[in-house]
Structure 1
Amino acid sequence: MLENNEENVEKTENKIEEVTNETSKVETENSKINLEESEVKVDDTIEAVEEIEKSIAVDAEKDAHKEEETAVVDYSKLSLEELVVELKKTLANNPIQKIKSQVEGIKSAFNQQFGTLLANKKAAFLEAGGNSIDFQFSSPVKSEYNSLLSEYKKQRDAYYNDLEKQMSENLEKKLSVIEKLKDLIENADTATMYKSFKGLQDTWRSIGPVSKNHYNDTWKTFHHHVERFYDLLHLSNDFRDLDFKHNLEEKIKIIAKAEALAEEADINLAFKELQELHKIWKEDIGPVSQEHREDVWKKFSAATKKIHDKRHDHFREMRSKHQEIIEKKLVVVTKLNDYDTSNNKSHNDWQKSIKIVEELRQEYFSAGKLPYSKSEEVWQKFKAATKKFNSAKNIFYKQEKSGQQENLKKKMELIELAESLKDSEDWETTTNTLKRIQSDWKKIGHVPRKFSDDIWKRFKAACNHYFDRFHEQKNSLNKEQQAVVETKKEFLETIKELKDPTKDKIIEIINDWRSMGSLPRNSRHLEGKFNKLIDRAFGGLSLDKKEISMLKFTNIVDGLAADNDVRKLDSEQMFVRKKIDEVIREIQQLENNLGFFSNAKDDNPLVLNVKKRVAEFKEDLAVWKEKLSYIKKIDY
């Protein structure tokens, strides 16, 4: 597809094609011409001739703009860089009017290659998790190519402007010849006027083309005075008679060629050849004697009409085909208008829809080509239908883009969590947590493209760091450690069924557990299961709350000490100190509250309740202090 700035094709280049298209539209009804200042209906023959004259006028201007082409090479095998070099050389070493085909060949090859490159870059971007709406790609070679192409168009514009100026000068020259011919008829000496007349004819033929707007009028005026010259030349003139004879012979030859063209199968070729015959008739062959003028013109006009009618039959058939193409294109437009995007909720949904719409676009263009006059209306409908789809798509991706910031925030939170766990040795819990984090990461949508690579590298590095450590320690587990794991697993199964154990029995079980050895890091979760069973067993004893609490605490701390788990012992001590501070603050707050009841009796319910709570907190404080004292005695 062409870029927007290439859709505005050079005025001078398109002007010729537009005029050519206009001349192909035949006005078959109610056509009129001026004949001797009276308006009469034009018959079919005159209509055919007028169409030819119109087209000759257009071709005269078109020939002025015709570019001499040099040989075109195959550019498809050149790289983008080589194509730019070739374009630069072509512009530098050739006249601007001779390189249109070369430039078009280079453009075609460059656009095809660059389009493929762009599609590959975009596919790689999307594969890496990028968003289609964020895709951008720039290339120095494309910038240089655009600059050279712009310079080519600039030079062509200048060339065409010079041509327009030249055609204006040619018009002035032809009008000057007409004035001289008129003056010759009115004032020249009959002895020398024929020689002067031939000189004016030669001058006329040597003058270059004029614009289509003036071509027929100037020729008709000149031809009128040429015939007037011959008709008013009363003296017997051998040169004139020879001219008449020669011109008659040439016009009879042209009539024969025109009649033969009526049998030509290629109607476009026949019409083109007929145009050339009319041009020769008008510009290269002079008049014939009056007795033959009407006859030869009628024969030539009749042959012209046959080709004209055949051509119009061909156009009628083409119009029928055009209607079929229009109907096919309108079917595509209907499909596009009816296409429902309301259920598109994700990027993948829209990518599928984009593919479907692109297939419909290809179906539209594959239906066939139409002339501008036929295509514009259906093209506008097609554009409106695709615009409807694109508007819905753009709304989605704008919303998607605004949601990407929220996605970025969520992924950053997961990164921070993963990085905080990457050195953890709580293998079972951390492994499950990181697996959940990885799953959550996949569920979060796209983030802004400029952040996507960096955050993915950070997240991947944190996860890899942990799992590398996890597999390393798992692989290093020796047979002795594995034996401890298996023994303790079996022991856990036996104590699960323990009924109403005594305090001594529980302490015995704890000692047996410790004597089995330390668990490896990846199996420390078994220690937690054991402690839960022991806590439950202590909870079933008929002991006071303080003693049970201390038994549970000492069991946990002794286990950590046995495993030399310094980090958790430090954490436990910090926790105990924190609880002591909390209890002290609670006691202070309650004792302050008692100050508000200084005038209340001692048996006041509120006073009694506060004092009771103070006593309970003091009991807790005593327990926490005893725990702190116990853990401080441990040498670690």
Structure 2
Amino acid sequence: MSDLNNPNAENADHANPVNSESITPETTAPEAVTPDDSQTSETPTTEVQTEDTVAATPAPPVKGDSEDDEVLNEIEESNAEDAEDEGNKDRHTIEVKEYDSMSLEALAIELEKLVQGQKVQAIKSHVDGINAEFKTKHQALVEEKKEEFLNEGGNEIDFYYASPIEKRYKAAYKEYRNKLNDHYKSLEKNLKQNLTDKLEIIEELKGLINVEENINTTYKHFKELQERWRTTGPIPRDKYNNAWNSYHHHVELFYDFLHLNRDLRDLDFKHNLEKKLLIIERAEELAQDDNVMRSFRELQELHKMWKEELGPVGKEHREEIWDRFKAATKIINDKRQVYYKEIDKVYDKNLETKLEIIANIEFVAAQPAGSHSEWQKRIKIIEDLRNQFFNAGKVPLKVNEDTWAKFKDAVRTFNRNKNAYYKDLKKEQYTNLQKKLELIKIAEDNKESEDTAVTTPLMKKIQNDWKKIGHVPRKDSDKIWKQFKAACNHYFDKVHAKRNAVSQEHVDAFNKKSELLETLKAVTPTDDKDKDVEIIKGHINTWKDLGRVPNDKRFIEDKFQKTIDDLLSSLKMDKTEIEMIKYENKLDSLTSSDGDTRNLDNERLFIRKKMDEVKAQINQLENNLQFFTNVDEDNPLVKDVHNNIKGHKDSLVLLKEKLRKIKERY
């Protein structure tokens, strides 16, 4: 049983010094010892060996509540741990963070900060928590990478994964272990020497009793021994209680001896009583403090002061002040237990949250997905659930490993399903790659062909076949497309070049179009809009009938287009109608008489892309309106948004009409 459980087990460290010159011969004269005063302590006599080990009989157990005894033992054990190494007490003030919600990188950074910024002996529990969390999360990452490696066809024996963050973490942890080892080597040497010194002090205390010298001289020697004890430094934790009990016992024996000079003894007793009453008052103040953990830590310091820095008080006060101090201790500990129960409730709630998240992951993992886009959506959902899990907080320690295992299993099941899908998808993409490579071979084999009657339909067919084949692996996509496109373009460019070289008809068409262009420049609008439109359309039809011009003369098409645009713009017509007339004229210039649809293909892709952009802008604007649900419709900002939406919708209608006109050309 701890000495703190015994109200009579008190020591005399740091008793108030007494000036030996102030003690008169009368005060040093021997007094009769009455039966009531013959013993100042109820602690049984103990002896301390002068060897490396301490042999002492502990104080007798005191009857009391087992719960009170437990907290007193806890306080004493903590103080004994701090007494062995003064840096240990810093552990109480270093923040313990939510390591379970930290990423691997954050854990490594936190370890580095602790190792470089704190005393190494004070961060053991922090490092243990970080290390356990890092190992768990890193192992999960390695397992995930290994599964991906195997799904891609790798052999298990060839798998190896190393991350920069692991290297960084290991370096910090190695530095921690080295510092800790160096510290304990130095500490062990000091602890042994300090123990030897304190055992010598105890032996000197023994020699003070019944010494034949002036009591003032003996008392001064006693105070010097107390000061040496206080400043000697820490000793091994397992020797702490026995050494202190023995020291305390011989201090009280000295007070028994000092009883012969009541003035000296009573002066010390009075000083100790005053100091212990101050400790009690502070403990009672702490009992009213709402910060229970801070209060308990300070309470530990108060118990340490009570035990190690103050000596006995008068026998008539001992039970009373100890019971009062113990009562304040009980109040603080009771509040601490309530606090722990509240923490347990939070942990239980966190457990419910994490189990619900795990159930959601299992649900998502069980749902089939048949496309890349669906899987990408689910990957985002799972990633969000993973973040929720890591941010949900701590759970009860007894279920922590089981909860983590369930979480890993749920995520692993999802990853296996995902990897299985993409493994099959890669097989399909590889098949598509082979098909497209075959089309490339056909295109390259025929790109120099002179038989346009046979080769042109063939080249058009393989272009259509290419569009029908699905995706290929991303790393091959651009490469094979450029290869296929180059072969097809080579053939059609050669065909076009040949036709331009031998066709006088194209030259004649250019000359006639030049004359028609001059005629168009002289046209002026009349008041009859319909008549003007018919005239313009007539010129457009005439222009089309004149046929193609040589490739190096196609600039005339742009001039014609601009002239028509200017004429139409000068008419008082609906803008949409004008735009469509212009657009049909543009499509005429893109349409090839030999069946080459490349220009139309490009225009169709352009229009579809514009439609997607306009739709996205409409969606964004409509989403923005949700922020104005309580704003009047006449608000300028709201009006502006509505006008923008209408403008984009009008544009979308026009684009759809243009797309329809393109499709009519095929």
TM-score, length basis structure 1:
0.52
Q: 2:69 aligns with which of 46, 61, 69?
A: 46
Assess if the C-alpha contact under 8 Å between 1:64 and 1:209 holds in 2. no
Residue 201 (str. 1) matches residue 226 (str. 2): yes
Aligned counterpart, 1:155: 175
Deviations 1:323-347 (A, max 9, x none): 2221122112222233344623454
Deviation at 1:261, TM superposition (A): 1.1
Deviation at 1:258, TM superposition (A): 0.9
Assess if the C-alpha contact under 8 Å between 1:418 and 1:437 holds in 2. no
Q: Name the CA distance, whole Å, in 2 between partners of 1:392 and 1:210.
A: 60
Residues 471, 152 of structure 1: alpha-carbon distance in 2 compared, 3 angstrom cutoff? same
Residues 58, 176 of structure 1: alpha-carbon distance in 2 compared, 3 angstrom cutoff? closer
Aligned counterpart, 2:586: none
Q: Name the CA distance, whole Å, in 1 between partners of 2:237 and 2:438.
A: 74
Q: 1:432 aligns with which of 436, 439, 460?
A: 460
Deviation at 1:209, TM superposition (A): 3.9
Aligned counterpart, 1:254: 279
Q: 1:168 aligns with which of 175, 185, 188?
A: 188
Residue 183 (str. 1) matches residue 203 (str. 2): yes
Aligned counterpart, 2:288: 263
Q: Name the CA distance, whole Å, in 1 between partners of 2:212 and 2:504.
A: 135
Aligned counterpart, 2:521: none
Deviation at 1:299, TM superposition (A): 1.5
Assess if the C-alpha contact under 8 Å between 1:167 and 1:208 holds in 2. no
Q: Which amino acid aligns with 2:252?
A: E
Deviation at 1:264, TM superposition (A): 1.2
Aligned to 1:442, the other structure's residue is in SS state coil
Deviation at 1:424, TM superposition (A): 4.4
Deviation at 1:438, TM superposition (A): 2.8
Deviation at 1:44, TM superposition (A): 4.2
Q: Which amino acid aligns with 2:178?
A: A
Q: 1:287 aligns with which of 302, 312, 330?
A: 312
Aligned counterpart, 1:386: 411
Aligned counterpart, 2:6: none
Aligned to 2:470, the other structure's residue is in SS state helix
Q: Which amino acid aligns with 2:72?
A: V
Deviation at 1:259, TM superposition (A): 0.7
Deviation at 1:274, TM superposition (A): 1.6
Q: Which amino acid aligns with 1:432?
A: K
Q: Name the CA distance, whole Å, in 1 between partners of 2:408 and 2:490.
A: 56
Deviation at 1:355, TM superposition (A): 1.8
Q: Name the CA distance, whole Å, in 2 between partners of 1:382 and 1:211.
A: 43
Q: 1:461 aligns with which of 459, 480, 483?
A: 483
Residue 244 (str. 1) matches residue 269 (str. 2): yes
Q: Name the CA distance, whole Å, in 2 between partners of 1:417 and 1:213.
A: 88
Q: Name the CA distance, whole Å, in 2 between partners of 1:397 and 1:190.
A: 96
Q: Name the CA distance, whole Å, in 1 between partners of 2:202 and 2:382.
A: 68
Deviation at 1:405, TM superposition (A): 5.5
Q: Name the CA distance, whole Å, in 2 between partners of 1:415 and 1:231.
A: 110
TM-score, length basis structure 2:
0.49
Aligned counterpart, 2:563: none
Q: How does 1:398-413 map to 2 (within 5 A)?
A: 406=431, 408-413=433-438
Q: Which amino acid aligns with 1:179?
A: L
Q: Name the CA distance, whole Å, in 1 between partners of 2:400 and 2:199.
A: 47
Residues 332, 281 of structure 1: alpha-carbon distance in 2 compared, 3 angstrom cutoff? same
Aligned counterpart, 2:378: 353
Q: Name the CA distance, whole Å, in 2 between partners of 1:47 and 1:99.
A: 24
Q: What RMSD, in angstroms, separates the aligned Cα atoms of the two structures?
A: 4.9
Deviation at 1:177, TM superposition (A): 4.3
Q: Name the CA distance, whole Å, in 1 between partners of 2:436 and 2:254.
A: 96
Residues 400, 278 of structure 1: alpha-carbon distance in 2 compared, 3 angstrom cutoff? farther
Assess if the C-alpha contact under 8 Å between 1:96 and 1:155 holds in 2. no
Q: Which amino acid aligns with 2:196?
A: S
Higher relative contact order (CA 8 A, sep 6+): 2
Q: Name the CA distance, whole Å, in 2 between partners of 1:60 and 1:404.
A: 69
Deviation at 1:374, TM superposition (A): 5.4
The size of the alignment, in residue pairs, is: 399
Deviations 1:236-260 (A, max 9, x none): 1755443332222111111111111
Q: Which amino acid aligns with 1:202?
A: E
Aligned counterpart, 2:338: 313
User: Structure 1 stretches of 5 or more lacking a match?
Assistant: 1-33, 69-85, 112-130, 485-518, 521-636
Deviations 1:377-423 (A, max 9, x none): 32332223223323333444555566666555444434333432444
Q: Which amino acid aligns with 2:460?
A: N
Aligned to 1:64, the other structure's residue is in SS state helix
Assess if the C-alpha contact under 8 Å between 2:355 and 2:403 holds in 1. yes
Q: Name the CA distance, whole Å, in 1 between partners of 2:351 and 2:60.
A: 44
Q: Name the CA distance, whole Å, in 2 between partners of 1:95 and 1:327.
A: 36
Aligned to 1:393, the other structure's residue is in SS state helix
Aligned counterpart, 1:507: none
Q: Name the CA distance, whole Å, in 2 between partners of 1:277 and 1:361.
A: 45
**Percent identity of the aligned residues?**
36
Residues 478, 397 of structure 1: alpha-carbon distance in 2 compared, 3 angstrom cutoff? closer
Deviations 1:567-593 (A, max 9, x none): xxxxxxxxxxxxxxxxxxxxxxxxxxx
Deviation at 1:443, TM superposition (A): 3.7
Q: Name the CA distance, whole Å, in 1 between partners of 2:84 and 2:58.
A: 26
